[in-house]
């Protein structure tokens, strides 16, 4: 079946512009996670959803970052007034549920470059 | 100090060699994950374990909960095993979100 998909695969934007990154999880997966991988650094957690609710937003680096999930499926990560330090690969993952420990399936990522 | 530490950071091996990558963590965990990231960025889950040992093909993962340590072994390594291997944990108090190690860059030469 189809895996996790993300769009766009690459995004170049000017400093100060807003961007939206999209994630389509595996069908039936109720848990959805956003992570970020900055150049030369490890992966870091941003936010996760169980259904349409976000029980843990603790990884969002500033109030310029927000995310939503609708219909228990697609999620959008929005970064307002982008800064150069936002440049990174943004990864989405989904799993069967967040209530329990399940394998996470990762999307291919969106590479964001802020110029 | 990071909650998840991996060693070595970089590893170069000759085809056929037995490889070990180590992971230590400092928090209580629900599960430990080993992930593989190939050039181009795609991440694949290799193992998820909370005790004992798991084997899949030439890959073996072990975990010692008391010592807060896990190892990933690759037997009969092959150039196609070249990738970044990442250890990650689901903390007891942080739910299912993952906390990651810095990764180990493995290069297997023919």
Q: Which of B42, B50, B95 sits opposite A98 (nearest CB)?
A: B95
Residue A84: CB atoms within 10 A of its CB come to 9
From chain A, pick out residues whose CB is under 8 angstroms from the CB of B50: 101
| Buried/exposed code over A63-73 (b: 16+ C-beta within 10 A; e: otherwise) | eebebebeebb
Contacts by B15-19, CB closer than 8 A, 24 or more apart: B15/B77, B15/B78, B15/B79, B15/B108, B15/B109, B15/B110, B16/B76, B16/B77, B17/B77, B17/B108, B18/B73, B18/B74, B18/B75, B18/B76, B18/B77, B19/B73, B19/B74, B19/B77, B19/B81, B19/B106, B19/B108
Task: Tell me the pLDDT band of B1, cut-offs 50, 70 and 90.
Answer: low
Partner-chain contact B97 A109, CB within 8 Å? no
Cβ contact B3:B46 at 8 Å: no
Q: pLDDT tens, B11-53? A: 999 999 999 999 999 989 999 999 999 887 789 999 999 999 9
Q: Looking at chain B, which residue has its C-alpha nearest residue A90?
A: B41
Backbone angles phi, psi at B108, to 5 degrees: -110, 120
Count of pairs with CB atoms under 8 A, one residue in A, one in B: 62
CB contact under 8 A, A102 and B96: yes
What is d(CA A5, CA A87) in angstroms, rounded to the nearest whole number? 20
What residues have CB less than 8 Å from B26, skipping those under 6 apart? B1, B3, B4, B5, B68
> Cα B89 to chain center, whole Å?
10
Distance in angstroms (rounded) separating the CA atoms of residues B65 and B70? 8
Nearest chain B residue to A50 by CA: give it: B96
Question: Residue B40 has what pLDDT?
Answer: 77
Question: Per residue of chain A (115 residues), what is the pLDDT tens digit?
Answer: 589 999 999 999 999 999 999 999 999 999 999 999 998 788 999 999 999 999 899 999 999 999 999 988 999 999 999 999 999 999 999 998 777 778 999 999 999 999 9
């Amino acid at each position: 079946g189809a895996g996790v998909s993300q769009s766009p695969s690459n995004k170049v934007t000017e400093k100060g512009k807003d961007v939206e990154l999209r994630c389509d999880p595996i069908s039936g997966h109720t848990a959805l996670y956003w992570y970020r991988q900055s150049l030369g650094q490890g992966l870091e957690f941003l936010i996760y959803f169980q259904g349409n609710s976000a029980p843990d937003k603790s990884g969002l680096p500033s109030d310029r970052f927000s995310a939503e999930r609708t219909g228990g499926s697609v999620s959008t990560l929005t970064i307002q007034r982008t800064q150069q330090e936002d440049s990174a690969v943004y990864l989405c993952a989904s799993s069967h549920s967040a209530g329990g420990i399940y394998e996470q399936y990762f999307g291919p990522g969106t590479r964001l470059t802020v110029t | 100090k990071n909650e998840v530490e991996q060693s070595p950071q970089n590893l170069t091996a000759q085809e056929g060699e037995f490889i070990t990558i180590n992971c230590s963590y400092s928090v209580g965990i629900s599960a430990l994950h080993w992930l593989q990231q190939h050039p181009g960025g795609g991440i694949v889950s290799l193992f998820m374990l909370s005790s004992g040992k798991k084997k899949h093909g030439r890959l073996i993962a072990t975990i010692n909960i008391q010592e807060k340590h896990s190892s990933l072994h690759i037997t009969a390594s092959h150039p196609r095993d070249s990738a970044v291997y990442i250890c990650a944990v689901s903390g007891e108090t942080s739910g299912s979100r993952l906390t990651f190690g810095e990764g180990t860059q493995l290069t297997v030469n023919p």
